[in-house]
């Protein structure tokens, strides 16, 4: 299956960048601009919740009109459940799960989904793995039939596993040419230390060592109805869909073995220092900074999201205005709130010209510390809250986005109604709460810094910060 | 052309358009420049070295028919049959059967937009990432087999049904996004003079026959009207360049 190359869900901090960027300073906005119009937040859907006798959780959102149905199927085990000597194994599992069943070969599976108007995509996250497919509503029952085959009868044929392994080895080589891949891999390793969350990708050794038997064994233990959810969003009737799911997946049974244990909460003691990933001939330094933030279930999650939007999580944020609009150090800086089941991480990313490597980190630190020591202007808070509310209204128009969000809520142990309450919670955030989140999570001294680029440039330009600079693979 | 899609009423939009744009004076419309390209007479090939890449990749581009041509819709279908997902002809042949590619992507007007939104000269592009141990010519041979087979045999009824369903579904997915719907409406208005063509696309796709697919391949997917760029990691360059020369 086509693997979505995200290692975790980015829950907030979606940025919309205009396609073109004019270098010259914009003239000030005219006076007497119309006031903000009324805010129209996303209205949460009625989520019909069922549980089949075999333990499969089913969340449905019937949305008539648009003639498609989106399915998300998630199981509660991911890369954090992989054996220590098989980092990234879950990715291979998702790559091979649709490569053959007792009744269909890989080509027949792909063609069956295409006949329904869909493509099966998948992602291995830290705490769960998820498959997504959007099909014509008239073909939804056929899709469920093929999905049930993949969920219950995958055979992991030796030749298909061998091909996936060869291609993943080459894809990993290709990914290692990308600064963003190297930065993410190193940051997770340094932030989480020995915790299973430190793994975000495969290694050549784990690809080489994985056998078809290991994949079959893991599939039997992990793909089980009592640890799975099926989310359906789209043009269907809930009773009919329930009957279709019962027919397709009602006979799916859980193995006798207990499910794999989920990850424990990691210790929040990430190092404050620079980890330098040398990249010969690089003309940019790719920065990725990270520090622990709140869990999504935590009371200060929304305030942190608002603080993050003011800081760097939206286009008109301080960081973007500073190092992109004002100084022109970088094209697309950003700040993100990333959630795993047992850990939240605040991230800052910016790829900057070699010559301004030190100057850029100085600005990033300044903007972080500004969040920690001063209060945002009321106008900044209004803009951030409206942005976070508006982006949800836009995003959740799409069936697939709703299906994916519901699957991730289930994974984090949160109720489906949360999807409709996010905007109200954001609107309720007070200035004092944003100050607290800023002080708690944003100080530059909490950050682990990864810099990918030319070694001599990074060492020389970051030396004045007085941090340890440690070259890593 | 201003297209507005979303939670608004026509009255409100027309009033605001009048308010903000009504005062812009009318101007004479500049004549449309002729951007037509001279026909390509021979295959063009080049090899480029990439300092940072770790795996090689090929791009193959064919000249597409003009928008107004009845062949254009067949080109859209051929592009999707070749490139759309794991069930596609190129993925199955190059990645799965012959194992000479890691990834295949492409289509008519790819990656610039949908096959229905070009006005001037356009390409059908195939983008193929292939393993460092495989020679460029082996990838091309496998590729040419797929094209020749489609030109000779066309599409079966089952293949046509599948690609129609997939293209209908993909078209809906694009229109699900309001800004894409607005964009499609504005393109059809500007390029065809018909905003409602947005509703006709799935039917037009469904009418493409196997014979049209064969005819399209024979007329447009020919070597003399294609350009091939092989981009290889610098470390592999000598080897791949020799392979490319051997293929001529």
Interface check for A163 against chain B (CB to CB < 8 A): the answer is: yes
What are the tens digits of pLDDT across the range A392-415?
Answer: 999 999 999 999 999 999 988 899
Percent of chain B whose predicted confidence (pLDDT) is above 70:
95
A123 touches chain B (CB under 8 A): no
Q: Within a 10 A sphere around the Cβ of A63, how many other Cβ atoms?
A: 18
Q: What percentage of chain A reaches a pLDDT higher than 70?
A: 95
Residue A377: φ, ψ to 5°: -65, 150
Taking only the tens place, the pLDDT of each residue in A235-281 is: 999 999 999 999 999 999 999 999 998 899 999 999 999 999 999 88
Q: Are the C-beta atoms of A126 and A196 separated by less than 8 Å?
A: yes
Most confident range (mean pLDDT) of A38-47, A93-102, B36-45 is A93-102
Largest CA distance in chain B: 66
Q: Is the pLDDT of residue B194 over 50?
A: yes
Diameter over CA atoms, chain A? 70
| Interchain pair A1, B86: CB under 8 A | yes
Residue B21 included in any domain: no
Side-chain-side CA neighbours of residue A414 (13 Å): 21
Tokens of A136: 């014509």
A5 touches chain B (CB under 8 A): no
Q: Do B92 and A107 touch (CB under 8 A)?
A: yes
Q: Where are the beta strands (DSSP E) in A171-271?
A: 228-234
Indicate which CATH number applies to the domain containing B156. Answer: 3.30.830.10
Domain presence at residue B130: yes
Residues 79-108 of B with CB under 8 A from A: 84-87, 92, 95-96, 99, 102-103
- In this predicted structure, the answer to whether residue B240 has a pLDDT above a threshold of 50 is no
Q: What average pLDDT does the segment A119-125 reach? A: 95
The percent of residues in chain A predicted with pLDDT above 90, rounded, is: 89
Give dist(CA A400, CA A231) in Å, integer.
10
Predicted local distance difference test score (pLDDT) of residue A1? 62
Nearest to A237 by CA among A373, A376, A140, A374: A140
What pTM, to 2 d.p., does this model score? Answer: 0.92
pLDDT digit string, tens, across residues A25-36:
567 878 888 888
pLDDT in tens, B164-174: 999 999 999 99
- Total domains present in chain B: 1
B170 neighbourhood in chain A, CB within 8 Å: 117
Average pLDDT of chain B to the nearest whole number:
93
| Mean pLDDT over the full length of chain A | 93
The answer to whether residue B24 scores a pLDDT higher than 70 is: yes
Sign of CA dihedral A340, A345, A346, A350: negative
The mean pLDDT of A309-322, rounded to a whole number, is 96
The pLDDT value given to residue A274? 98
Contact A397 B176 (CB under 8 A): yes
Tell me: pLDDT of A4 over 80: no
pLDDT (0 to 100) of residue A35: 87
ipTM of the complex as predicted = 0.93
Is B129 among the domain residues?
Answer: yes
Q: Is the pLDDT of residue A19 over 60?
A: no
Let me know if residue B25 belongs to a domain: no
- In a domain, residue B66? The reply is yes
Q: Which among A68, A114, A139 has CB closest to B172?
A: A68
Is the distance from CB of A266 to CB of A194 less than 8 angstroms? no
Mutation for A interface: B7, B165, B168, most A CBs within 10 A = B165
| Whole-number pLDDT of residue A373 | 98
Is position B119 within any domain? Answer: yes
A298: pLDDT strictly greater than 60: yes
Contact A106 B96 (CB under 8 A): yes
Q: pLDDT value at position A290?
A: 98
Structure tokens at B45: 């090939």
Q: Outline where A250-339 has alpha helix (H).
A: 301-308, 318-319
Domain that holds residue B197: 42-246
Residue A438 CA to residue A368 CA, distance in Å, equals 8
CA closest to A174 among chain B residues? B54
Looking at the complex, does the CB of residue A467 fall below 8 Å from at least one CB of chain B?
Answer: no
Q: Give the per-residue pLDDT at A29.
A: 79
Q: What is the pLDDT of residue B237?
A: 66
Q: Is residue B16 part of a domain?
A: no
Q: Taking CB atoms and an 8 Å limit, are B87 and A107 in contact across chains?
A: yes
* DSSP string of B56-123, one letter each residue: -EEEEEEEPPPTTSTHHHHHHHHHHHHHSSTTSHHIIIIIIIS---SEEEEEETTTTS-TT---SS-E
Domains parsed from chain A with CATH numbers: 48-249 (3.30.830.10), 265-471 (3.30.830.10)
Nearest chain B residue (CA) to A165: B102
Residue A11, pLDDT score: 35
- What's the sign of the alpha-carbon dihedral A140, A142, A148, A149? negative
Q: What is the helix, strand, coil percentage profile of chain A, to 5?
A: 45, 20, 35
CA distance A406 to B157: 38
Token pair belonging to A315:
């286009």
Separation of alpha carbons A402 and A408, rounded Å: 10
Q: Cβ–Cβ contacts within 10 Å for residue B238, how many? A: 11
pLDDT single digits (tens) A52-83 = 999 999 999 999 999 999 999 999 999 999 99
Contacts of A59 (CB under 8 A, 6+ apart): A47, A48, A49, A229, A230, A231, A232, A406, A410, A416
- Whole-number Å distance between alpha carbons of B202 and A215: 40
Q: Kindly state whether residue B183 falls inside one of the protein's structural domains.
A: yes
Burial of A127 (0-12, 13-18, 19+ CB in 10 A): buried
pLDDT at B239 (0 to 100): 52
Q: Whose CA is closest to A292, among A250, A339, A252?
A: A339
pLDDT at B109: 96
Q: What is the pLDDT of residues B113-169, one digit of tens each?
A: 899 999 999 999 999 999 999 999 999 999 999 999 999 999 999 999 999 999 999
pLDDT at A8 (0 to 100):
33
């Amino acid at each position: 299956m086509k693997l979505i190359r995200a290692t975790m869900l980015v829950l907030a901090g979606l940025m919309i960048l205009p396609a073109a960027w004019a270098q010259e300073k914009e003239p000030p906005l005219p006076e007497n601009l119309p006031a903000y119009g009324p805010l129209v937040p996303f209205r949460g859907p009625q989520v019909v919740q069922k549980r089949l006798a075999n333990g499969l959780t089913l969340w449905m959102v019937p949305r008539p009109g648009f003639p498609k149905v989106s399915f998300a199927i998630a199981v509660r085990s991911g890369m954090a459940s992989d054996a220590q000597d098989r980092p990234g194994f879950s990715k291979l599992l998702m790559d091979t799960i649709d490569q053959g069943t007792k009744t269909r070969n890989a080509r027949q599976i792909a063609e069956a989904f295409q006949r329904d108007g869909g493509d099966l995509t998948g992602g291995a996250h830290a705490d769960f793995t998820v498959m997504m497919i959007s099909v014509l509503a008239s073909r939804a029952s056929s899709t469920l039939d093929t999905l049930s085959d993949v969920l219950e009868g995958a055979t992991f044929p030796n030749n298909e596993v061998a091909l996936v392994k060869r291609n993943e080895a080459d894809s990993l080589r290709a990914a290692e040419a990308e600064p963003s891949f190297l930065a993410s891999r190193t940051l997770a390793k340094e932030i989480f230390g020995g915790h299973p969350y430190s793994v975000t990708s495969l290694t050549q050794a784990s690809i080489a060592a994985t056998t078809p038997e290991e994949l079959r064994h893991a599939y039997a233990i992990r793909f089980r109805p009592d640890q799975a959810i099926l989310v359906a969003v789209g043009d269907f009737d809930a009773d009919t869909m329930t009957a279709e799911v019962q027919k397709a997946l009602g006979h799916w049974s859980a193995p006798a073995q207990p499910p794999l244990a989920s990850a424990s909460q990691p210790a929040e003691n990430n190092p404050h220092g620079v980890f330098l990933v040398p990249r010969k001939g690089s003309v940019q330094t790719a920065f990725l900074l990270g520090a622990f933030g709140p869990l999504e279930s935590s009371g200060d999650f929304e305030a942190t999201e608002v603080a993050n939007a003011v800081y760097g999580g939206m286009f008109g944020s301080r960081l973007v205005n500073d190092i992109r609009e004002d100084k022109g150090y970088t094209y697309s800086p950003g700040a993100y709130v990333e959630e795993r089941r047992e850990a939240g991480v605040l991230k800052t990313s910016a790829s900057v010209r070699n010559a301004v490597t030190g100057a850029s980190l100085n600005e990033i630190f300044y903007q972080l510390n500004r969040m920690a020591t001063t209060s945002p202007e009321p106008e900044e808070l209004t803009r951030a809250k409206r942005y976070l509310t508006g982006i949800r209204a836009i995003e959740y128009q799409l069936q697939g986005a709703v299906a994916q969000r519901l699957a991730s809520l289930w994974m984090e142990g949160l109720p489906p109604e949360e999807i409709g309450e996010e905007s109200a919670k954001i609107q309720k955030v007070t200035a004092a709460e944003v100050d607290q989140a800023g002080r708690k999570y944003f100080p530059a001294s909490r950050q682990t810094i990864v810099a990918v680029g030319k070694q001599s440039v990074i060492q020389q330009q970051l030396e004045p910060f007085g941090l340890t600079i440690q070259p890593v693979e | 052309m201003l297209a507005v899609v979303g939670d608004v009423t026509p009255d409100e939009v027309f009033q605001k358009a009048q308010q903000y744009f009504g005062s812009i004076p009318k101007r004479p419309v500049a004549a449309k420049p002729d951007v037509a390209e001279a026909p390509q007479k021979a295959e063009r090939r080049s090899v480029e070295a990439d300092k940072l890449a770790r795996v090689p990749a090929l791009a193959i581009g064919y000249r597409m028919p003009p928008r107004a041509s009845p062949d254009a819709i067949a080109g859209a279908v051929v592009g999707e049959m070749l490139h759309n997902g794991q069930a596609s002809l190129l993925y199955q042949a190059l990645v799965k059967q012959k194992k000479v590619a890691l990834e295949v992507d492409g289509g008519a007007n790819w990656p610039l937009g949908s096959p229905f939104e070009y006005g001037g000269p356009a390409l059908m592009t195939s983008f193929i990432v292939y393993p460092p141990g495989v020679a460029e010519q082996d990838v091309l041979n496998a590729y040419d087999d797929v094209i020749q087979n489609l030109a000779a045999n066309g599409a079966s009824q089952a293949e046509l049904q599948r690609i129609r369903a997939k293209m209908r579904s993909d078209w809906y997915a694009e229109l699900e996004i309001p800004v894409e719907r607005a964009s499609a409406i504005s393109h059809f208005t500007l390029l065809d003079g018909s905003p409602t063509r947005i509703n006709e696309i799935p039917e037009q796709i469904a009418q493409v026959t196997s014979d049209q697919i064969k005819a399209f391949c024979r007329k447009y997917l020919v070597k003399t009207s294609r350009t091939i760029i092989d981009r290889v990691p610098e470390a592999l360059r000598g080897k791949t360049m020799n392979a490319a020369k051997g293929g001529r």
